[in-house]
Amino acid sequence: MSALRIAESIVLTPLRVGLGGLMLYAGLLKAQDTLLFANAIKAYQLIDPYTDAHAITTLAYTIPWAEMLCGLALILGAWARGAGLLLAAMLAAFAWGNWENWGGTCTCFGSSDPFCGAQPIGECHMLRNAGLGAAALLVAWRGAGLWGLDALLSRAKARRAARKTLAVASADAVDRAAASP
Partner 1 sequence: MIAATGREGLGTVLTRSIALVALAGGAGLVHSLFEAPLVLTLQAAPAPAPVPDPVPTPVPVPVPNTDPAQPAEVSTPTATDAAAVAVPAGPEKLDAAAAFALFDQGAQFVDARRRELWLEGRVAGAWQMIPAELRNMQDAPHVGDALAALDPGATTVVYCVGGDCEDSVNVAILLQAAGFTDLRIMGASFEDWQNAGYPTESGDPAGAGGMP
CA torsion 50-54-56-60 (nearest 10°) is 150
Q: In whole angstroms, what is the distance from residue 83 CA to residue 6 CA?
A: 22
Does 13 engage in binding with partner 1 (CB under 8 A)?
no
Contact (Cβ atoms closer than 8 angstroms) between residue 105 and residue 121:
yes
Tell the smallest beta-carbon distance from residue 170 to partner 1 (Å): 26
Contact (Cβ atoms closer than 8 angstroms) between residue 108 and residue 90:
no
Footprint on residues 30-49 left by partner 1 (CB under 8 A): 31, 34-35, 38-39, 42-43, 45, 48-49
Determine whether 104 is exposed, middle or buried from the number of CB atoms within 10 Å of its CB (0-12, 13-18, 19+). middle
Does 147 engage in binding with partner 1 (CB under 8 A)?
no
Does 179 engage in binding with partner 1 (CB under 8 A)?
no
Does 73 engage in binding with partner 1 (CB under 8 A)?
yes
- Can you give the binding site for partner 1, defined by CB under 8 A? 31, 34-35, 38-39, 42-43, 45, 48-51, 53, 56-58, 60-66, 68-70, 73, 79, 81-83, 85-86, 89, 137, 140-143, 150, 154
